Structure 1
């Protein structure tokens, strides 16, 4: 493992080019505990995640196929406790022996009836929510993305691509920006193919920073990645004319080092954006509605037909968009439902642990400790 000091050592310098947070690695007791538990291991960052395993790196362009710990391969092992792209792990040879604690993460509820969390990216400083100014433009989906990002510790930035296609019947930029003015996030309209246009994103792409791109297929994530790279590294594809959807040109999450010294994580288009139950509506772009709700006459106001509802009054005055309120209510119910499932899962896990300890105690009393 490279020494923690000095900061200028060659090993640390290479790690920092792929986002190694030197100061936090030194100061964080959890990181230090993991490093000391595996003194012969070296840090590496997950740059690709596949169903069959991981690709990690301990320097830019130093791809290493890594072997997962045996427990990660168990069917019932929690998905969010496995490494994700952006995570830092410890390697012993080519074996992953530890997952270092995450600083930040963006997660979603996994598809299916059973409750599971899926980590989209870890240890990121900003999330670029990429949406095309064509038929892909949907303020309600942007609000859903911001809700998922809100509690993860990263800065959300809304990037409206295809600003160069307005003559072809795209969404009006000024109208789009005005409609998103209530969001608690920076919003930019860009031509993803033009480096000068996307320069507005440079404040989040400094050396050592990590950014993940999220958005639907065809939104322009891979095009934006290529422009920031200054090379055609990521495959891009045409979108269908009738709905502006694209094929999954990006098939897996991948971390790429940019010339600026930042790390960029491109992701496949996501159709399902389910809350995990850990989201905070106030932190997820609805702080204004949450503030209005505190002024309602009834504390448990559902903002439907109750008298003295400050939220409905704001809609009637034209201060709050009715579609945005409807989306807020929908997401509020989804978060509450997911929170119930999460609470049940945690309770079941705690009960199983208690029962397991009781069983071991009875076995020890009957047969003696081994």
Structure 2
């Protein structure tokens, strides 16, 4: 909630509207620290080549993003920004510090990060029980979500398409890897598990659905909004199958609800990015056991005094989990090496360019 003494640049009515969009005192303090006449806060609802669409206290507005900002820290869906009218158009001046984010390794080989969305409270990791259920994929998504600071919830969708026995078995397997994370089996079309979903939605204001294509993310979004989001009718007509396939990220308010939602396209590649905190949270039973290892840098690969290996031998830890963590940790380390190499090469190119310009300038002065 807001401290109402901070209303010097924003009216009480505007604050009420912004608060419903997720504007907290964290963002208000940043905004007021740099605000001036004609400056307004807005939340990024969509980003395209021409700029971005903002949700503001007075409605939607288009804003341009300066090239220097787009190169350095491009805005993403969910960001809060400070914008100001300049020459008859709204321009983004500053991106306010993010509270949480969802960031993966960008496609390609240079190890750069790609932030998919920002300032999320909940991230719904969706897996279809009809064909998409995979505990390794759940672990990967959990690592990404934990790394960015949002709260994950695992949704096993299309639960009505499988037998009760298969559904229960999948729940057991998912809960075994989603430690201290809520796991729900739901089916929108069959009306299964929706009360539990409604309760989960009360745990945060801004949420995102992530997962592979075809697992029912957009079906969930359309159910929650009464079918009023993401241009469903036009997309369905284009496909001719009454289906919705998301091709972009967009932040929308759910009709009749307090929530805002980001529906994301299905991702073929979900590469890890981060410093390891996500791994520690996802594999917390290994993290906790590792505190008893003799060496603080133990790799749990045969070192003397390894408490993790001892726990595996006693049957207290699942060896598959240890192998999964090792693979993901190796991937993170490889990504960090590629990112460092990319940064080094970029610096060398920049330095060489600067040196060349300096020498050319000196030559002209002679």
- Asked if residue 112 in structure 1 is aligned to residue 108 in structure 2, the reply is yes
Aligned equivalent of 1:139, options 122, 135, 139: 135
Gaps of 5+ in 1: 239-246
- Asked if residue 33 in structure 1 is aligned to residue 33 in structure 2, the reply is yes
Report the counterpart of residue 46 of structure 2 in structure 1: 48
Q: TM-score, normalised by structure 2?
A: 0.80
Report the counterpart of residue 266 of structure 2 in structure 1: 269
- Asked if residue 103 in structure 1 is aligned to residue 99 in structure 2, the reply is yes
Q: Write the distance in 1 (CA, Å) between the matches of 2:296 and 2:15.
A: 53
Aligned equivalent of 1:205, options 181, 201, 221: 201
* Compared CA separation, residues 110 and 278, structure 1 to 2 (3 A): same
- Asked if residue 260 in structure 1 is aligned to residue 257 in structure 2, the reply is yes
Conserved in 1, the CA contact under 8 Å of 2:15 and 2:57? no
* Compared CA separation, residues 171 and 342, structure 1 to 2 (3 A): farther
Conserved in 2, the CA contact under 8 Å of 1:277 and 1:336? no
Q: TM-score, normalised by structure 1?
A: 0.79
Q: Write the distance in 2 (CA, Å) between the matches of 1:233 and 1:289.
A: 41
What SS class does the counterpart of residue 251 from structure 2 fall into? strand
Task: Give the RMSD, CA atoms, in angstroms.
Answer: 3.6
Q: Write the distance in 1 (CA, Å) between the matches of 2:203 and 2:303.
A: 52
More helix per residue = 2
* Compared CA separation, residues 353 and 127, structure 1 to 2 (3 A): same
Report the counterpart of residue 18 of structure 2 in structure 1: 15
Q: Write the distance in 2 (CA, Å) between the matches of 1:113 and 1:282.
A: 22
Q: Write the distance in 2 (CA, Å) between the matches of 1:154 and 1:96.
A: 25
Q: Write the distance in 1 (CA, Å) between the matches of 2:144 and 2:153.
A: 13
Report the counterpart of residue 224 of structure 2 in structure 1: 228
Query: For 1:133-159, what per-residue CA distance to the aligned partner results, in whole angstroms no more than 9, with x for missing partners?
Result: 122001111111111111212111111
Report the counterpart of residue 243 of structure 1 in structure 2: none
Report the counterpart of residue 251 of structure 1 in structure 2: 247
Q: Write the distance in 2 (CA, Å) between the matches of 1:31 and 1:350.
A: 32
* Compared CA separation, residues 41 and 363, structure 1 to 2 (3 A): farther
Q: Write the distance in 1 (CA, Å) between the matches of 2:290 and 2:192.
A: 42
- Asked if residue 317 in structure 1 is aligned to residue 314 in structure 2, the reply is yes
Report the counterpart of residue 241 of structure 1 in structure 2: none
Q: Write the distance in 1 (CA, Å) between the matches of 2:52 and 2:251.
A: 12
Q: Write the distance in 1 (CA, Å) between the matches of 2:245 and 2:354.
A: 49
Matched residue pairs, number? 345
Conserved in 2, the CA contact under 8 Å of 1:16 and 1:208? no
Gaps of 5+ in 2: 237-242
Q: Write the distance in 2 (CA, Å) between the matches of 1:260 and 1:288.
A: 37
